[in-house]
Amino acid sequence: MKKFLKGTFFMQGDEACAEGAIVAGCRLFAGYPITPSTEIAERMARRLPEVGGAFIQMEDELSSIALIIGASYTGVKAMTATSGPGFSLMQENLGLAVMTETPIVIVNVMRGDPSTGQPTRAGQGDVIQARRGSHGDYEIIALAPYSVQEMFDLTIEAFNLSEQFRVPVIMLSDAIIGHMREKVILKTPDEVKIVNRKKPKEPPGKYLPFKPEEDLIPPMACFGEGYGIHVTGLTHDIRGYPASTDPKVHEKLVRRLCDKIRLNADKIIRIDSRYVENAEIVLVAYGTPARSAIRAVNLARKKGLKVGLVRLITVWPFPYEYFRKLSRKVKGFIVAEMNYGQIVGEVERSVGDRKVVLASKLGGDPHTPEELLEIIGEVYKHVE
Amino acid sequence: MLSENLPPKAHPLEKLLRTDRLPHIWCPGCGIGIALNSFLRAVKKLNLDPKSIVLISGIGCSGRASGYVAFDSFHTTHGRAIPLAMGVKIARPDLKVVVFSGDGDLFAIGGNHIIHAARRNLDLLVICINNFNYGMTGGQLGPTTPFSSYTTTTPYGNIEHPFNLVHLTAAAGASFVARWTVAHPIQLARSIEKALNKRGFSFIEVIAPCVTLYARYNKLGRPPQIIKYLKEISVIEKSMDSSKADIKIGNKIFVGEFVDVERPEYVSELYRVIREKSGRKIDSLVR
């Protein structure tokens, strides 16, 4: 096969994700088989050697994420892919990647959960876990593709964001998007934006590995570059040395790790909004439910209902400010999720006393546009 | 008195240490420093470029070693030093990657990774400090605690059987397996030299006293007595059979080199495939 694929293809979401990673510059994948993400690993196993990269099948998800952290610290763009149970196992080292500011990409093709749940069916039960699953205060970036095209495009975006902000980036896909086949247009690296991490400007001896620049992100020296850096999950000072008993160092570090995302949120957040300008109510969705939501909003508009759509491309950081502003002119919100209510809580936090209705769907089937249209009709009556 | 008249002299290993991080956190009489010293002496003897070495450790007393060496180093989460080291080694095969950690980190919480790294014959040196208990958390039962001995979580005596670390790693497929005690620093340094030159998975167990906890709970005496005792009960046999190297209270401790074989190594095989499929002479993932 060619190094990079170019043009129009009929492809599975998981396969498009793998191709996106290769275009983004990913040259190392480590993972453990798990439905419904396995096709990403299988595609990477075949494709990476062709482009001069390494595929490694690990003994579990704990080691998969540990391996890509180690690889990233040599300067390689590295990723893993998993689903709910594996994502749970990765949580401790997700925190290590946050604390050590390691750029990595984790693809979570979500299935029905909790526990072993529904391996072959879709769900969105890991959205809060992606944000809060590891212990401690931190901020993270998570993207939610809603099409095979976005499995390709957002994987590139995920690598770019992780390199720019030195933070793990999570792709929150699901079994429907992962396994679905549809049209996708693949681009080559020279047709897309590729971001690489900042490198030190000072020579070894003068460089301080965790001294941030104005954007709160420290330039990253890598192993084998002669800097002799020490990296630890312990609270550390700007030299990278453990300082776990110093309250000031700890407070400063944790605040910076959060602030580098919080204060740059407007640069990170991407929203796909439709008809919100004159909307009475807004339907909020991300990932698979957004597909039905688009249809439902179009149907509602045909019936003369003033309904808008907000599709979250970036799930984390959540666009609190955007919803705060929107709530000034919108009377009610419907949040369609394939879980028992996760992002709905964030919407509630943002919109004051505005009515927020959860359109929950569990079991693996997506909402139908008709189901959403019915809820739109009911909410419309109440807010009118 | 005498030292006042002598010019200040640098420690022979000073260039390999982050001296600005000293003093270290290890207890007086602890064996970890001796093992680290042997490792650094081996590095010096082989004249390895410090910039080409990466030291990776897990959590625990031994895990702190990564913070004291003047190499690129990573102090990882508990149990995950080996897979993280694997990531470094795969991406940069030209670097010497060494894992320096404790028995609990490597064989309890991280046990799965060491057997799989040995099975793959990953080019990696693992130095395991075996002090028979969890030191950092206050002396609890570990996967190496001898049967019937006392720890804070076996106050009535240990009812579990410990791993025989050299036999376990040998059985899992390691290319080089050795065991020494901290009473054998010279022999240990020689085995480390050998392992650093070996292409494949090397495992070296270092039996070290935890003078503050395990030794005290089991009334093994003061540090000098323990070192003397370790020397006395250690034996080197001509036919080194790792299956007979169990550690039991009152028994001899078998030390020496148990395995030294050649077999296809993981990173070399991985790059053979990458070179074949890409049609390029790739020897690193970093460009």
Give tens-digit pLDDT for B18-67.
999 999 999 999 999 999 999 999 999 999 999 999 999 999 999 999 99
- The CATH number of the domain holding residue B159 is 3.40.50.970
Those of residues 251-270 in B touching chain A at CB distance below 8 A are: 270
Cα B37 → chain centroid: 12
Q: List the single residue in B67, B75, B88 with the smallest CB-CB distance to A223.
A: B88
* Domain count of the fold of chain B: 1
- The CATH number of the domain holding residue A185 is 3.40.50.970
Among chain A residues, the shortest Cα distance to B72 is held by A228
**B113 is a domain residue:** yes
pLDDT at B237: 79
Task: Count the neighbouring beta carbons within 10 Å of the beta carbon of residue B83.
Answer: 31
Same domain, A176 and A306: no
Same domain, A26 and A148: yes
B94/A92 CB distance under 8 A:
no
Which 8-state DSSP code applies to residue B181? E
Nearest-neighbour CA in chain A from B84: distance (Å): 4
Among chain A residues, the shortest Cα distance to B16 is held by A228
A184: contact with B, CB 8 A cutoff = no
Nearest-neighbour CA in chain A from B192: distance (Å): 21
Nearest alpha-carbon partner for A330 in A304, A356, A312, A363: A356
**A96 is a domain residue:** yes
Same domain, A144 and A25: yes
Nearest-neighbour CA in chain B from A291: distance (Å): 38
Those of residues 302-331 in A touching chain B at CB distance below 8 A are: none
B88/A70 CB distance under 8 A:
yes
Among chain A residues, the shortest Cα distance to B119 is held by A59
- pLDDT(B3) > 60: no
**B5 is a domain residue:** no
Those of residues 10-49 in B touching chain A at CB distance below 8 A are: 18, 21
Residue with tokens 């009911």: A378
- The CATH number of the domain holding residue A344 is 3.40.50.920
pLDDT at B5: 64
Share of chain B above pLDDT 70, in %: 98
Separation between Cα atoms, residue A289 and residue A311, nearest integer Å: 9
What would the pLDDT profile of A112-140 be if each residue is shown by its tens digit? 999 999 999 999 999 999 999 999 999 99
**B27 is a domain residue:** yes
Q: What is the largest CA-CA distance in chain A?
A: 69
Among chain A residues, the shortest Cα distance to B20 is held by A241
Question: Which of A148, A174, A191 is the endpoint of a domain?
Answer: A191
Chain pair A-B, CB pairs under 8 angstroms = 148
B94/A224 CB distance under 8 A:
yes
Question: Which of A191, A226, A246 is the endpoint of a domain?
Answer: A191
Question: Residue B250 sits in which domain range?
Answer: 23-278
**B92 is a domain residue:** yes
**A22 is a domain residue:** yes
* Domain count of the fold of chain A: 2
How would residue A358 be classed by pLDDT, with cut points 50, 70 and 90?
A: very high
B278: contact with A, CB 8 A cutoff = yes
Separation between Cα atoms, residue A224 and residue A218, nearest integer Å: 18
Buried b (16+ CB within 10 A) or exposed e, A344-373: bebbbebbeebebbbbbbeebebbebebbb
**B6 is a domain residue:** no
pLDDT at B94: 98
Among chain B residues, the shortest Cα distance to A204 is held by B51
- pLDDT(A77) > 60: yes
pLDDT at B7: 66
Among chain B residues, the shortest Cα distance to A30 is held by B87
Choose from A57, A73, A197, A199 for mutation: most chain B CBs within 10 A.
Answer: A73
What would the pLDDT profile of B96-151 be if each residue is shown by its tens digit? 999 999 999 999 999 999 999 999 999 999 999 999 999 999 999 999 999 999 99
What would the pLDDT profile of B206-253 be if each residue is shown by its tens digit? 999 999 999 999 999 999 999 999 999 999 977 789 999 999 999 999
What would the pLDDT profile of A197-244 be if each residue is shown by its tens digit? 999 999 999 999 999 999 999 999 999 999 999 999 999 999 999 999
Question: Residue A298 sits in which domain range?
Answer: 273-383
Q: Helix, strand, or coil here: A380?
A: helix
**A13 is a domain residue:** yes
Q: List the single residue in A50, A67, A226 with the smallest CB-CB distance to B83.
A: A67
A52: contact with B, CB 8 A cutoff = yes
Q: Helix, strand, or coil here: B235?
A: strand
How would residue A383 be classed by pLDDT, with cut points 50, 70 and 90?
A: confident
Choose from A79, A230, A235, A241 for mutation: most chain B CBs within 10 A.
Answer: A230
Is residue B205 within 8 A of residue B166, CB to CB? The reply is yes
**A247 is a domain residue:** no
- The DSSP secondary structure of A244-289, one letter per residue, reads TT-HHHHHHHHHHHHHHHHTTHHHH--EEEES-TT-SEEEEE-SHH
Separation between Cα atoms, residue A216 and residue A206, nearest integer Å: 19
**A345 is a domain residue:** yes
B70: contact with A, CB 8 A cutoff = yes
- pLDDT(A384) > 80: no
Looking at every residue in chain A, the average pLDDT score rounds to 97
A50/B277 CB distance under 8 A:
yes
B88/A58 CB distance under 8 A:
no
B80/A66 CB distance under 8 A:
yes
**B17 is a domain residue:** no
**A129 is a domain residue:** yes
A231/B51 CB distance under 8 A:
no
Nearest alpha-carbon partner for B158 in B146, B170, B169, B167: B146
pLDDT at B2: 54
B86/A56 CB distance under 8 A:
yes
Give the ipTM of the model, two decimals please: 0.97
**B210 is a domain residue:** yes
How would residue A322 be classed by pLDDT, with cut points 50, 70 and 90?
A: very high
**B132 is a domain residue:** yes
**A28 is a domain residue:** yes
From A9-18, A50-59, A196-205, B5-14, the region with the lowest mean pLDDT: B5-14
Same domain, A62 and A171: yes
Choose from A43, A48, A232, A241 for mutation: most chain B CBs within 10 A.
Answer: A232
**A241 is a domain residue:** no
Nearest-neighbour CA in chain B from A50: distance (Å): 4
A359: contact with B, CB 8 A cutoff = no
Nearest-neighbour CA in chain A from B196: distance (Å): 17
Choose from A76, A101, A236 for mutation: most chain B CBs within 10 A.
Answer: A76
Nearest-neighbour CA in chain B from A53: distance (Å): 7
Question: Which of A191, A226, A249 is the endpoint of a domain?
Answer: A191
- Rg of chain A (C-alpha set): 21
Whether cis (ω within 30° of 0) applies to the bond prior to A114 is yes
B76/A96 CB distance under 8 A:
yes
A233/B75 CB distance under 8 A:
yes
Is residue B214 within 8 A of residue B230, CB to CB? The reply is no
A231/B92 CB distance under 8 A:
no
